[in-house]
């Protein structure tokens, strides 16, 4: 069902959460920063890094789950949003951190490759030369987008992704030329976050602001490198005014499915000729379609298209 369209005045809009990426090389204290400073953390650990943070006096108790399964992660997020997972003090989780998004994206890249290989096997082609199609990548990205969409409309105040860094190349150059580094995550993910910091190796904290939105610029100026500490207390004070209510934004996948259904419904003529073509896809002849309609005491009626086609589907499974 299409959600009710809401028209808002900008003065009445209240932000719900902050979406953040901390990325960098290994041992740059990305995970430690979240566990040490962010409130009431649930860490979704995909690579076991949090083991090294347990028992540190500087890090308060936190919730943790180890998984690389995207379906499990969606379920965890749903439970947190429903208030079913709470901190040891009985209070609700305020921060969800996925450590790291690079591992999850690596898993989904394997999914795209596996889809291509299975297709090659099906058609007796060389598996070693199988190439992933745009559709394979769409299917691989879909669970990742589902997670981020869930979190973006959740009442969880802070959503932090940690990520590894990977080389960045000049896409306009004929010869590959490294021009820096970037987070090793699904392409386009940086567009969905409010703040992105690049952590570097240093005896203490060192991080550069590579993306910032809105009033956060007053706290994290774009391009500024922080050394020794981060102005997180100022960020927490800024976010304290956020609403803790769940958003009503519709997920991309659901919007796409609804629009596609409408297009399909309007593009396929509901005629006897189209019904014969439909029956043929299930191995049912025109005479067979007539028998199905008569046995169900139904005559052809375009307004009953879904009912009639379901009868044909059911008959094909019986036969």
Which of the two residues, 316 and 209, has the higher pLDDT score? 209
32: nearest Cα among 155, 180, 204, 168:
204
Same domain (yes/no): 273, 242: no
**231 lies in some domain:** yes
- CA neighbor of 96 nearest in space, from 56, 39, 139: 39
Tokens of 74: 């969606």
Is residue 160 located within the same domain as residue 95? yes
What percent of the chain shows pLDDT beyond 90? Answer: 44
Within a domain: 254: no
Q: Quick one: average pLDDT of 47-60?
A: 85
The tens digit of pLDDT for each residue in 203-252 reads 888 999 999 999 999 999 999 999 999 999 999 999 988 876 665 555 55
Out of 11-25, 68-82, 195-209, which region has the weakest mean confidence (pLDDT)?
Answer: 11-25
Poorest-confidence range of 67-81, 168-182, 223-237, 263-277?
263-277
Find the range with the poorest average confidence among 22-26, 217-221, 291-295. Answer: 291-295
**Residue 8 belongs to a domain:** no
Asked whether residue 253 is domain-assigned, the answer is no
* DSSP single-letter state for residue 53: G
Q: Range of 274's domain?
A: 268-318
pLDDT tens-digit map of 255-285: 555 555 665 566 667 888 889 988 888 888 9
Contact 97, 162 (CB under 8 A): yes
Banded pLDDT at 38 (limits 50, 70, 90): very high
Residue-level pLDDT at 32:
93
Q: Are residues 179 and 302 in the same domain?
A: no
The answer to whether residues 125 and 208 belong to one domain is yes
Pairing of strands 206-212, 225-227: antiparallel
**Overall size of the chain counted in residues:** 319
Q: Does the pLDDT value for residue 132 go beyond 80?
A: yes
Is residue 187 located within the same domain as residue 38?
A: yes
Task: Report the predicted TM-score, pTM, of the whole model to 2 decimal places.
Answer: 0.75
Structure tokens at 249: 């934004």
Tokens, residue 163: 């990520």
Residue 152, C-beta contacts closer than 8 angstroms, at least 6 positions apart:
17, 19, 159, 192, 247, 249
Whether 79 shows a pLDDT value over 60: the answer reads yes
Q: Specify the range with the lowest mean pLDDT, choosing from 13-22, 116-125, 253-262.
A: 253-262
Average pLDDT for the chain: 86
Domain count within the chain: 2
**Same domain for 312 and 185:** no
Q: Given this model, what pLDDT does residue 256 score? A: 57
Region 160-176: mean pLDDT is 88
**Is the dihedral angle over the CA atoms 87, 93, 99, 100 positive or is it negative?**
positive
């Amino acid at each position: 069902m299409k959600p009710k369209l809401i028209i808002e005045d900008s003065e009445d809009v209240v932000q719900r959460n902050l979406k953040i990426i901390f990325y960098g090389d290994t041992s740059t204290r990305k995970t430690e920063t979240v566990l040490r400073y962010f409130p009431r953390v649930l860490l979704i650990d995909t690579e076991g890094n949090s083991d090294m943070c347990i028992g540190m006096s500087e890090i308060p108790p936190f919730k943790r789950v180890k998984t690389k399964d995207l379906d499990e992660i969606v379920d965890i997020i749903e439970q947190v949003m429903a208030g079913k997972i709470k901190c040891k003090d009985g209070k609700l989780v305020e921060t969800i951190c996925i450590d790291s998004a690079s591992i999850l994206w690596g898993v989904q890249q394997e999914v795209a490759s596996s889809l291509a290989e299975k297709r090659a096997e099906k058609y007796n082609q060389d598996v070693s030369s199988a190439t992933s199609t745009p559709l394979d990548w769409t299917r691989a990205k879909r669970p990742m987008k589902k997670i981020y969409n869930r979190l973006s409309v959740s009442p969880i105040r802070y959503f932090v992704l940690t990520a590894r860094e990977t080389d960045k190349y000049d896409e306009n150059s004929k010869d590959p030329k490294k021009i820096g580094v970037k987070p090793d995550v699904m392409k386009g993910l940086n567009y969905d976050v409010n703040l992105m910091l690049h952590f570097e190796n240093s005896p203490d904290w060192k991080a550069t602001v590579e993306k910032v939105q809105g009033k956060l610029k007053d706290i994290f100026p774009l391009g500024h490198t922080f050394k020794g500490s981060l102005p997180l207390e100022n960020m927490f004070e800024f976010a304290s005014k956020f609403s803790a209510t769940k958003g009503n934004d519709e997920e991309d996948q659901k919007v796409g499915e609804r629009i596609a259904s409408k297009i399909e419904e309007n593009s396929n003529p509901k005629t006897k000729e189209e019904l014969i073509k439909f029956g043929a896809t299930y191995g049912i002849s025109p005479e067979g379609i007539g028998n199905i309609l008569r046995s169900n005491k139904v005559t052809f009626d375009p307004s009953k298209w879904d009912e009639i086609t379901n009868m044909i589907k059911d008959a094909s499974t019986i036969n």
